Amino acid sequence: MSLYTQRIENVRTQMIKAGVEALVVPGSDPHLSEYLAEHWKIRDWLSGFNGSAGTLVITRDQAGLWTDSRYYLQAEAQLRDSGIQLFKEGLPNVPDYIKWLSGQLSGGSKVALNGTCSSAGHVKEISQKLQSESIALETHHTLAEDVWENRPALPADFVKIHPENLAGLGLPKKMELVHQQIKKTGATHYVINALDEIAWVLNLRGSDIPYNPVFHAFMVISLRETLLFVDQKKLPRNVQEYLTAQGVKIKPYANIYHHLTGLPADAIVFTDPARTNFALVSALQKKIVKKEGTGIITRLKGVKNRVEIQNVKHTMQLDGAAMVRFLIWLEQNVPGGRVTELSAARRLSDFRAENEGFTGESFATISSYEAHGAIVHYSVTPQSDVPLKSEGIYLIDSGGQYLTGTTDITRTVALGPVSEQAKTDYTLVLKGHIALATAIFPRGTRGVHLDILARQFLWNHQLNYGHGTGHGVGYFLNVHEGPQSIRPQDNGVELEAGMVTSNEPGLYRSDQYGIRIENLILTKKVSENEFGTFLAFETITLCPIDTTLIKTEMLSAKEKEWINQYHREVYAQLTPALNKEEAEWLRERTGELK
Amino acid sequence: MSLYTQRIENVRTQMIKAGVEALVVPGSDPHLSEYLAEHWKIRDWLSGFNGSAGTLVITRDQAGLWTDSRYYLQAEAQLRDSGIQLFKEGLPNVPDYIKWLSGQLSGGSKVALNGTCSSAGHVKEISQKLQSESIALETHHTLAEDVWENRPALPADFVKIHPENLAGLGLPKKMELVHQQIKKTGATHYVINALDEIAWVLNLRGSDIPYNPVFHAFMVISLRETLLFVDQKKLPRNVQEYLTAQGVKIKPYANIYHHLTGLPADAIVFTDPARTNFALVSALQKKIVKKEGTGIITRLKGVKNRVEIQNVKHTMQLDGAAMVRFLIWLEQNVPGGRVTELSAARRLSDFRAENEGFTGESFATISSYEAHGAIVHYSVTPQSDVPLKSEGIYLIDSGGQYLTGTTDITRTVALGPVSEQAKTDYTLVLKGHIALATAIFPRGTRGVHLDILARQFLWNHQLNYGHGTGHGVGYFLNVHEGPQSIRPQDNGVELEAGMVTSNEPGLYRSDQYGIRIENLILTKKVSENEFGTFLAFETITLCPIDTTLIKTEMLSAKEKEWINQYHREVYAQLTPALNKEEAEWLRERTGELK
């Protein structure tokens, strides 16, 4: 019996005691974070699978794990010998876990879920689906948590102030904006459990979670008072004084549920069902009127202010210089045969760490050579690591957290000779990248409309990629943030001037290579006339694009001019931060394409 | 006191008797048709406004009409002296009628609506909104209908059989397909009030409604029986025999509501909330389980069968030949000074009428010269009619109903010298038209994704158009049909092989001119590989595109090649139907663009 089989057996004992036929364990925390503190990795502890997306379902005699195409290979490896069946979401004839559960259970059965670790919207959805199969969902259980011996404690790291000169807006001004929006919704209270929203509105940062500079807390903002539910030990005296001076009242972290239960019956509470955990919403008295919508702070935070934009642009110079140093290092060291995927990722991180204001990586670097590049979310480990050779294609997707902004960049480079097919693929991806970068569009345009610009040339060759084209990027906050995105799914969010989004089309050929070209783009207003207000993007990432992989005969004159203009900009902006040799290398790499 | 003021006063007397504070009168019929029989033009009779979209709202002392930008000018003219306030939907700070009503009425008020003339989905939506303002909606009233003296009777025209050799599938096969889909939804009964759906599934056609070859009826299809609710006088003996032979039971038209009320409590009823009137759904017992979705027949009908496709292509040859004759006639007669918008539209209709199988126009021809072209849904009347001169831009949007298909085509032509700006605009519209026509896209792509292809070049010049890019087109049925469309709104419908859709980008400069280029495009499968199944469009409309309006220097080599290839096809397909002079004219107009 493996470690995981034993743990699942222990959970089953709890299930029998509780009288439930199944348990659903999503890979999330009460803040619905993308990355989790060890304390919340319940699904990982039970199954051994540690991908960022995946749901474990345990019945009395079966166990299954549902994950998407990014994690098929990883899950197969990690679930081996666990007795847990892998369900590959997105493949034909693979049931979702609700369908599967309704096949396994008879009517009248009960399914348990810890309501603190799923969004209100998701619980509502699965509860309705189960109900239509006469299966009840119970959300008050902590069956897995109860058998977790030696569970890691919650992090107790200190919270820091993110000063107003870096944040662009002070706490009082941000609170004023939030109050305005609360009034617009007609609510009296606004409940927040998304950690990046709390960090943004308070101008605080933490280190409880890998890659995201946030800390565990809840907030309730009413028109009368602002409450922060946080472990007080995490607040050094200056932070406590800062909060108190701003009128923010500090309450114990775990008291949030009790507090919500005590809200008066005439309160009108605003929540974002996609980003608020179910237990918070269900703690409210039934009589209380609930207003729902995209998080108020999500929307405010998504539009960067003048200082944030100015600082992010400066950060791009620092980050681009680190990328240039890395690309030079790669070119010089790969031929020696001692560079591997892992050592390359580490070297890049070291170059970034030399930059002022750098606090860490903004996500786990994807450093992938040849066939590994085809695994979209490849995460190199000592076991998977391979040396880079002077041939073929290397893809590196990485980013940094700086006090002055968050970066996210992907470059695909030729380490030596590559196939003609690879060059064609690269050029098609690049054409899509340019088409999105140069788009002009009227106000009201959503990401779902623009997505095809990045795909059209691939589609013409009957090629495609399976991920979105762009996500919002935080400011010294989460590298993936809302509300906007550029993808085939319609999220109803219009692009607005001030939003920072990624532009990252790609192409992945199984067992061959992966290609992705990613820059960050800032939405800006272009003009206003009788046909509308028109917006466009400004590319703010600064790093040369490998021109040796381009088939120039496939580019239009305008596309070539875009690359040349971009490279002139990269050269002009980065040279001040480079030494003479580095600048000389960059001059060559940004030379005019003819 | 005007005619309309008097009628509204009569309605107010009814409102007082019924104890309601307001009445909502939408411009629709129990079948939610786009075009209405005179019997159902209640809003027109009350207000004098006869646009295809608009809602009249009457309170005890106010009246307002809500319509969209297509009808601003028309409504202004028609409502003059009526005392009815015009609300221009889509303009900033114009409240929708629900918001306006909640400002006018106090809590506890009642609003009346005839539930037979609004969709179940719409009633649900407005009912919820009114409820949140503590205003009740009552749907059983017929306050306006009750005071309508000399109301026109329902049409009693004969219904005809659309034979299987033209329809491609017989009634039994269609019913089998419908039954399969009913089973898939888990329903026992399927209620239909959309007239084109009834006509399609029964292979019957009528003439109750202008432009749409349909007849007034309801249907209930269960797995056990098929019921048609129709005025029996409309069915000649051969149609009655045909229906009886196929097992279709005929019931009186008005009995549908009573029949639905009598359905057994264990029935499970499928309806399309967007295309089923509210009274039908509310006639069902409360206990009955309701399943909702896009109409089963809407989806089946949207994908044309082999015979339909073959026949539509043949119809395009006939229709294209009529268009060519019209364009020649226009060229020869405009210089004489006696052609007007109205006479041109009539002449085109006459040319179409010479074609085999032609039964009438598929919508009211938009024949618009210069500034009139900027009014997107311009409908020429003797009052608005103007002569065409040998200069400027003429736009004609028209279509025919044939036993072998429905056509819809727009051409914009220069009648003589035009401005450089007009040529630039025309070329931008054409580039968009070509980009959509030549798109290749994976299965799963929806209209919302493709829409930008037609707009991108206009957007680059900070121009845009305010209507959708494409709508589904019926087969000897409604010229506007679902389920697919190509527009910025996401309807969730994927494009499928066999669908016929319009491709009609445009540009409209107020007081100057309108430009639109419209062909119908057929979705076809291209290939299947590891990246998906790829689809593309085949342009099936056959008629030359005015090349004198093109700025060739703005076209890419590929765009020119598309035009040349299209014109070669037009020439090859149309000449067999043309005489020598006509063919010679066409040869010239389809000459190679260099």
Asked if the Cβ–Cβ distance from B490 to A448 is below 8 Å, we say: yes
Kindly report the backbone phi and psi dihedral angles of residue A386, in degrees, each rounded to the nearest multiple of 5, phi listed first.
-135, 150
Tell me which residue of B125, B149, B116 sits closest to B3, measured CA to CA. B149
Residues 481-540 of B with CB under 8 A from A: 488, 490, 510, 526-527, 529-532, 534
pTM: 0.94
Q: Are B453 and A452 a contacting pair at CB < 8 A?
A: yes
CA dihedral A416, A420, A424, A425 (to 10 degrees): -70
What confidence tier does A28 reach under pLDDT thresholds 50, 70, 90?
Answer: very high
A236 at interface of B, judged by CB pairs closer than 8 A: no
pLDDT at A166: 98
Q: How confident is the model at residue B132 (pLDDT cuts 50, 70, 90)?
A: confident
* Residue B1 confidence (pLDDT) above 90: no
Q: Name the 3-class secondary structure at A210.
A: coil
A22 at interface of B, judged by CB pairs closer than 8 A: no
Contacts of B495 in chain A (CB under 8 A): none
B326-330 long-range contacts (CB < 8 A, ≥24 apart) are B326/B351, B326/B396, B327/B411, B327/B413, B327/B543, B327/B544, B327/B589, B328/B581, B328/B582, B328/B585, B330/B388, B330/B394, B330/B413, B330/B415
User: Residue B69: its pLDDT value, please?
Assistant: 81
Nearest-Cα distance to chain A for B443, in Å, is 11
User: By the CB < 8 Å criterion, does A449 face chain B?
Assistant: yes
Selecting from A439, A462, A534 the residue whose C-beta is nearest the C-beta of B462 gives A534
Q: What is the DSSP letter of A524?
A: E
**Has residue A378 got a pLDDT over 90?**
no
- pLDDT on residue B74: 85
Nearest CB among A448, A460, A530 relative to B448 is that of: A448
What mean pLDDT is reported for chain A?
96
Residue A71 scores a pLDDT above 90: no
Q: DSSP letter at A117?
A: G
- Residues of chain B with pLDDT > 70, as a percent, come to 100
Query: Among residues 413-442 of chain A, which lie with CB inside 8 Å of chain B?
Result: 439-442
**Preceding omega of A483 cis (within 30 degrees of 0):** yes
Residue in A with minimal Cα distance to B530: A463
Q: Rounded CA gap, A297 and A306, in Å?
A: 17
pLDDT at residue A254 in the model:
95
Contact B479, B363 (CB under 8 A): yes
Q: What spatial distance separates the first Cα and last Cα of chain A, rounded to whole Å? A: 64
Mean pLDDT of B520-535: 96
Across residues B286-297, what is the average pLDDT? 94
Amino acid A246: pLDDT:
95
Distances (CA, A) of A358 to A208, A211, A354, A367, A454: 17, 12, 8, 20, 31
Determine the residue among B91, B99, B425, B449 to mutate to test chain A binding: the one whose Cβ has the most chain A Cβ atoms within 10 Å. Answer: B449
Q: For the stretch B337-357, what's the b/e string if a residue is b when 16 or more beta carbons lie within 10 angstroms of its beta carbon? A: eebbbbbbbebbbebbeebeb
pLDDT in the model for residue B460: 98
Confidence class of residue B552 from pLDDT cuts 50, 70 and 90?
very high
**Total length of chain A:** 594
User: Directed axis angle between helix A420-437 and helix A447-460, to 10°?
Assistant: 150
Using alpha carbons, select from B273, B286, B283 the residue that is nearest to residue B119: B273
What crossing angle do the helices spanning A195-202 and A171-185 adopt, rounded to 10°?
120
**Chain A neighbors of B440, CB-CB under 8 A:** 459-460, 462
A462 touches chain B (CB under 8 A): yes
Residue A57 phi/psi, 5-degree rounding, is -125, 125
Alpha-carbon distance A448 to nearest alpha carbon in chain B (angstroms): 6
Torsion of CA B452, B458, B463, B468, to 10 degrees: -40
Chain B residues inside the 8 Å CB shell of A133: none
Q: Where are the alpha helices (DSSP H) in B503-546?
A: none
* CB-CB neighbors (< 8 A) of A530 in chain B: 510
User: pLDDT value at position B376?
Assistant: 85
Mean pLDDT computed over B454-471: 97
Option in B439, B490, B527 nearest A490 (CB): B490
Give the chain A residue whose CA is nearest to the CA of B487.
Answer: A449
**Does the structure show a pLDDT above 80 at A1?**
no
CB spacing of A488 vs B444 below 8 angstroms: yes
Interface probe, candidates B438, B464, B512, B530, chain A, greatest A C-beta count within 10 A: B464
For residue B323, the model assigns a pLDDT of 98
- Contacts of residue B531 in chain A, CB cutoff 8 Å? 462-464
| pLDDT above 70 coverage of chain A, percent | 100
Per-residue pLDDT at B4: 94
- Cβ–Cβ < 8 Å for A391, A418: yes
Res. A377: pLDDT tops 90: no
Q: Is the pLDDT of residue B87 over 90?
A: yes
Of A71-75, B177-181, B275-279, B309-313, the range with the lowest mean pLDDT is: A71-75
Name the pLDDT band for B214 (thresholds 50, 70, 90): very high
Q: What is the pLDDT of residues B346-388, one digit of tens each?
A: 999 999 999 999 999 999 999 999 999 998 888 899 989 999 9
pLDDT value for B211: 96
Shortest CA distance from B435: residue in chain A: A456
The rounded mean pLDDT for chain B is: 96
Mean pLDDT of A238-263: 97
Q: What is the pLDDT of residue A586?
A: 98
ipTM given for this complex: 0.92
Amino acid of residue A418: V
Predicted confidence band at B294 (pLDDT cuts at 50, 70, 90)? very high
* pLDDT of A431: 98
Chain B residues in contact with A453 (beta carbon < 8 A): 452, 456
- Confidence band of B70 (pLDDT split at 50, 70, 90): confident
pLDDT in tens, A420-457: 999 999 999 999 999 999 999 999 999 999 999 999 99
Of A49, A43, A105, which is closest to residue A75 (Cα–Cα)? A49
Q: Which residue of B has its CA nearest to A466?
A: B531
List Cα–Cα distances, A190 to A180, A213, A229, B132, in angstroms: 12, 23, 14, 20
Does the distance separating the beta carbons of A527 and B448 come in below 8 Å? Answer: no
B424/chain A closest Cα distance in angstroms = 16
DSSP B362-419: SS--EEEEGGGGGSTT----TTT--B--SSSEEEEEE-EEETTEE--EEEEEESS---
Tens of pLDDT, residue by residue over A448-467, are: 999 999 999 999 999 999 99
A376 pLDDT band (50/70/90 cuts)?
A: confident
Judge whether residue A475 has pLDDT over 90.
yes
Q: What percent of chain B has pLDDT over 90?
A: 94
Q: What is the pLDDT of residue B387?
A: 98
Nearest CA in chain B to A451: B449
Task: Kindly identify which residue of chain A lies nearest to residue B461, measuring between CA atoms.
Answer: A440
Which distant-in-sequence residues (6+ apart) come within 8 Å of A457 by Cβ? A428, A431, A432, A435
What are the phi and psi torsion angles at A439 (to 5°)? Answer: -65, 140
Characterize B558-578 residue by residue with b for buried, 16 or more Cβ atoms within 10 angstroms of its Cβ, and e for exposed. ebbebbbebbeebbebbbebb
In this prediction, residue B476 carries a pLDDT of 98
Q: According to the model, what pLDDT value does residue A460 have?
A: 98
The model's pLDDT over B243-262, given as tens digits with 9 standing for 90+, comes to: 999 999 999 999 999 999 99
From chain A, the residues in CB contact with B488 under 8 A are 444-445, 449
* Contact present, B120 and B278 (Cβ < 8 Å): yes
Q: Which tens digits make up the pLDDT trace of B395-452?
A: 999 999 999 999 999 999 999 999 999 999 999 999 999 999 999 999 999 999 999 9
Rounded distance between C-alpha atoms, residue B390 and residue B336, angstroms = 9
B-chain CB neighbours of A442 within 8 Å are 459, 464
